[in-house]
Amino acid sequence: MILIIIMIEGGHVEGGEVTYDGRSLIIDGQRKLLFSGSIHYPRSTPEMWPSLISKAKEGGLDVIQTYVFWNLHEPQLGQYDFSGRNDLVGFIKEIEAQGLYACLRIGPFIEGEWTYGGFPFWLHDIPGIVYRSDNEPFKFYMQNFTTKIVKMMKSESLFASQGGPIILSQIENEYGNIEAAFKKKGASYVRWAAKMAVELQTGVPWLMCKQIDAPDPLINTCNGMMCGETFSGPNSPNKPSLWTENWTSFFQVYGGKPYIRSAEDIAFHVALFIARINGSYINYYMYHGGTNLGRTGAAYVTTSYYDQAPLDEYGLIRQPKWGHLKELHAAMKQCSATLLQGVRTNFSLGQYQEAYVFQEETGGGCVAFLTNYDGHNVTVQFQNTAFELLPKSISILRDCETVIFNTAKVNTEQHNKRILKRTQKFDSSDSWEEFNDVLPKMEDTSLESNTFLEQMNTTKDKSDYLWYTLRFEHNLSCTKPVLHVESFGHVAHAFLNNIYIGAAHGNHNVKGFTMDIPIMLNDGINNISIASVMVGLPDSGAFLERKFTGLRKVEIQCTEKEFYNFINFTWGYQVGLLGEKLQIYREENLDNVVWKQSTETSINRTFTWYKTFFDAPMGNDPVALNLSTMGKGEAWVNGRSIGRYWVSFLDSNGNPSQTMYHIPRSFLKISGNLLVLLEEIGGNPFQIFLNTVSIINVREDITYYHLSQ
């Protein structure tokens, strides 16, 4: 109850010693029922943080949870960056200023659909390194970074034990999923990581999520959609049931459809977690997803991240999710004293119906959860009163009498609709200028090798693009040769004798793809150039340091007997595109290349840069580009990347996974904003629209429809 008062009054949270027992976290001697939401600071901008955090607070959250993004903070070994979107301290201080708590998931492996799971790529080149194992080089760098972050938080007095907002920290991340792959070194690594973390003496508990063997005093926690059903509970009776990731939706990949998880379903599982496994901390993953700006998304992950969360990509309230959960939080807070102190009993109310009752031993407080797992309405008798239970729902009864919330009953006021207003079309042909990137020839490349090079180790993640170039003398007799390419990269584009001959791509769920293109060869010398493209680095699995991407095989096939296998030929390599090297997306570098006016013939060109200038839409509404007529590439506004786009990869219904691309307001000035697009497949820039995004409230019985992207 005290917590609620603090929340309503706002202002500074009173930190204090954070401990726990089998029932809950205990902050400054008070038991806590806490609702938490993930908001990742680099997936929005510092200008957006105050409003995101205040909407989270208004939605009934007590805690903001974030990962710490190692590869943003230490892009080069020993060179740190905590500025702008990387201002972790600023983000935590904003949480504190709004009177909320923070949960800091340091990792420093985070997965998180973030490129390379948050690891800086230089880690790959540390001799003898094996990530996330009992391996000395890895442990050295993990400890070094973790220590750096903890010291930074301590020096700003941000742990609750120092009077700050951080009540929990996390070490590692879902390691239980891969621990077995490391055999004995998995278990010893878990023990080392726990000990290392505890020795940093933060004064607040450490968590390990999805880690059933989390050593004392670390708390093992649940991640998933249905922790009320799937969690086997804490690994000690002295630890509380905490849910660190209750997925409000699911991340989206290119080629995939948005995952719509209903407000009713989320509310059901949150209530069940509290009722059935004494849950006292629930975190929504994500509460605000945001945008994978730049090249920060992991393999195939869309630039828009968890747009279906209670706060959408733009930070706008998504109804009915936000409002329904707000009501659930308020209902639970009314009962929190009983939930945290009462004795729980449960009994059957029918074949698919169950009651969970929390009864205070003194004072008489009572809370009941009447659960109906069935898909039909049923009427049950509870304490001599009849209650009608909606299908797949939980009714929450204050004083075990009055229904104060039903998970399946969404308030009809709580609906809204996203409005996209077109403010500009980039259609007049004089508005665009273009530059065709240069196709590298073998003799221009500075790097040669007579075996295929692994892509990530060659690019060092400086670019998504790696060119493989080859010159060979043709002497086969066949008339219908086929270029056959096998790749572990994500996309391949092939050129033969300077002509584009085609592309192919893989998808998130299958490693690798093949491409077969009928070709015509010149007599004598022929040139092949293949661009192998990554759409983010992998972010999961054991032995990430050994992952192999890029081309695996290139052949020209005639007949079964007559073919060239180019695997042992000498190939020339070029990392990245010329425009990237010259950074022509920055205004000061535009003159590094010669741009020409775009015309109607500029449509559908591969590896072409387009630039134009535009004025910001009036007002403060969020801004987005509709790139529905483009193919695949990356976009920059005033020199800052707003992310990769990939519109040509259609989902199983024939729709692009993402057409709207967020331009954070703070990237814009009033007029003369430079927009640069790198288009790799072919698109039409004359049909691009600038939009503002807003929401209006609508009543369900009048009009309500889910607006997809």
Ligand X SMILES: *[C@@H]1O[C@H](CO)[C@@H](O)[C@H](O)[C@H]1NC(C)=O
Active site residues: 174, 245
Q: Does 344 bind ligand X (CB under 6 A)?
A: yes
Q: Does 655 bind ligand X (CB under 6 A)?
A: no
d(CA 119, CA 112): 11
Binding span for ligand X by CB under 6 A among 91-99, 141-149, 183-191, 201-209:
141-149
> Which of 18, 207, 225, 690 is close enough to bind ligand X by CB under 6 A?
225
Residue nearest to ligand X (CB): 224
> Which of 278, 283, 372, 658 is close enough to bind ligand X by CB under 6 A?
278
Nearer to ligand X by C-beta: 7 or 34?
34
Nearer to ligand X by C-beta: 424 or 687?
687
> Which of 454, 486, 516, 587 is close enough to bind ligand X by CB under 6 A?
454
What minimum distance in Å lies between the beta carbon of 5 and ligand X? 26
Tokens of 660: 């709207």
Binding span for ligand X by CB under 6 A among 8-16, 100-108, 211-219, 621-629:
621-629
A 10 A CB-CB count for 529 gives 23
Structure-token match 């023990």, residue found: 191
Q: Does 338 bind ligand X (CB under 6 A)?
A: no
> Which of 51, 76, 144, 155 is close enough to bind ligand X by CB under 6 A?
144
> Which of 276, 329, 490, 611 is close enough to bind ligand X by CB under 6 A?
276
Q: Cα separations (Å) of 52 from 258, 330, 419, 708?
A: 22, 19, 19, 21
Binding span for ligand X by CB under 6 A among 25-33, 272-280, 396-404, 593-601:
272-280
State which of positions 168-207 bind ligand X (CB under 6 A).
none
Q: Does 76 bind ligand X (CB under 6 A)?
A: no
Nearer to ligand X by C-beta: 122 or 592?
122
What minimum distance in Å lies between the beta carbon of 399 and ligand X? 19
What minimum distance in Å lies between the beta carbon of 235 and ligand X? 11
Using an 8 Å Cβ cutoff, are 616 and 625 in contact?
A: no
What minimum distance in Å lies between the beta carbon of 598 and ligand X? 15
What minimum distance in Å lies between the beta carbon of 291 and ligand X? 16
Instruction: Say how far residue 302 (Cα) sits from the centre of its chain.
Output: 9
- By three-state DSSP, how is residue 107 classified? strand
Which of 344-376 are b and which e, b meaning 16 or more Cβ less than 10 Å from the residue's Cβ?
Answer: beeeebeeebbbbbbbbeeeebbbbbbbbbeee
Q: Does 446 bind ligand X (CB under 6 A)?
A: no
Q: Does 628 bind ligand X (CB under 6 A)?
A: yes
Order of strands, sheet of 433-436, starting from the edge strand that comes earlier in the sequence: 596-597, 433-436, 608-614, 673-679, 632-637, 640-646
Residue 461's region, left for phi above 0, alpha for psi from -120 to 50, else beta, is left
A 10 A CB-CB count for 124 gives 19
**Site pattern 100..139 for ligand X (x: CB under 6 A):** ----------------------------------------
Q: Does 420 bind ligand X (CB under 6 A)?
A: yes
d(CA 503, CA 649): 12
d(CA 548, CA 27): 46
Size of site (CB under 6 A) for ligand X:
53
Binding span for ligand X by CB under 6 A among 286-294, 321-329, 579-587, 681-689:
681-689
Q: Cα separations (Å) of 295 from 284, 298, 307, 512, 643?
A: 25, 8, 18, 21, 6
> Which of 9, 199, 361, 443 is close enough to bind ligand X by CB under 6 A?
443
- By three-state DSSP, how is residue 243 classified? strand
> Which of 608, 641, 659, 692 is close enough to bind ligand X by CB under 6 A?
659
What phi, psi does 513 have (nearest 5°)? Answer: -155, 165
**Site pattern 360..379 for ligand X (x: CB under 6 A):** ----------------xx--
Q: Does 682 bind ligand X (CB under 6 A)?
A: yes
Q: Does 343 bind ligand X (CB under 6 A)?
A: yes
Q: Does 147 bind ligand X (CB under 6 A)?
A: yes
Q: Does 93 bind ligand X (CB under 6 A)?
A: no
Nearer to ligand X by C-beta: 519 or 660?
660
Q: Does 689 bind ligand X (CB under 6 A)?
A: yes
Nearer to ligand X by C-beta: 9 or 78?
78
Q: How many helices (H) and strands (E) does the chain have?
A: 12, 38
Q: In the beta sheet, which residues pair with residue 646?
A: 632
Q: Does 653 bind ligand X (CB under 6 A)?
A: no
Q: Does 230 bind ligand X (CB under 6 A)?
A: yes
**Site pattern 382..401 for ligand X (x: CB under 6 A):** ------x-xx----------
Burial label for 8, CB within 10 Å (0-12, 13-18, 19+), is exposed
- In the 8-state DSSP scheme, what is residue 41? G
Q: Does 525 bind ligand X (CB under 6 A)?
A: yes
> Which of 75, 90, 233, 350 is close enough to bind ligand X by CB under 6 A?
233
DSSP secondary structure letters along 60-103: T-SEEEEE--HHHH-SBTTB---SGGG-HHHHHHHHHHTT-EEE
Using an 8 Å Cβ cutoff, are 386 and 373 in contact?
A: no
State which of positions 482-511 bind ligand X (CB under 6 A).
497-498, 500
Q: How far apart are the first and last CA of the chain?
A: 40
Which of 385-403 are b and which e, b meaning 16 or more Cβ less than 10 Å from the residue's Cβ?
Answer: eebebbebbbbbbbebeeb
Q: Does 2 bind ligand X (CB under 6 A)?
A: no
Nearer to ligand X by C-beta: 465 or 564?
564
Binding span for ligand X by CB under 6 A among 313-321, 359-367, 411-419, 468-476:
468-476
Which residues have a Cβ under 8 Å from the Cβ of 662 and sit 6 or more positions away?
Answer: 291, 303, 304, 313, 314, 622, 623, 624, 642, 643
Nearer to ligand X by C-beta: 29 or 237?
237
Burial label for 688, CB within 10 Å (0-12, 13-18, 19+), is buried
Nearer to ligand X by C-beta: 8 or 347?
347
What minimum distance in Å lies between the beta carbon of 498 and ligand X? 5
Q: Does 449 bind ligand X (CB under 6 A)?
A: no
> Which of 12, 93, 139, 148 is close enough to bind ligand X by CB under 6 A?
148
Q: Does 277 bind ligand X (CB under 6 A)?
A: yes
d(CA 615, CA 598): 20
d(CA 235, CA 246): 19
What minimum distance in Å lies between the beta carbon of 42 and ligand X? 22
Nearer to ligand X by C-beta: 161 or 629?
629
d(CA 533, CA 549): 10
Q: Cα separations (Å) of 244 from 46, 209, 231, 380, 381?
A: 24, 7, 12, 33, 35
DSSP secondary structure letters along 559-625: SSSSEEEGGGS-EEEEES-HHHHTTTTSGGGGGGS--EE--GGGTT-SSEEEEEEEPPPSSSS-EEE
State which of positions 545-604 bind ligand X (CB under 6 A).
564-565, 567-568, 604
d(CA 109, CA 146): 10
**Would you tell me which residues interact with ligand X (CB under 6 A)?**
78, 144, 147-148, 224-226, 230, 233, 241, 276-278, 343-344, 346-348, 376-377, 388, 390-391, 420, 441, 443, 454, 457, 471-473, 475, 497-498, 500, 522, 525-527, 564-565, 567-568, 604, 626, 628-629, 659-660, 682, 687, 689, 709
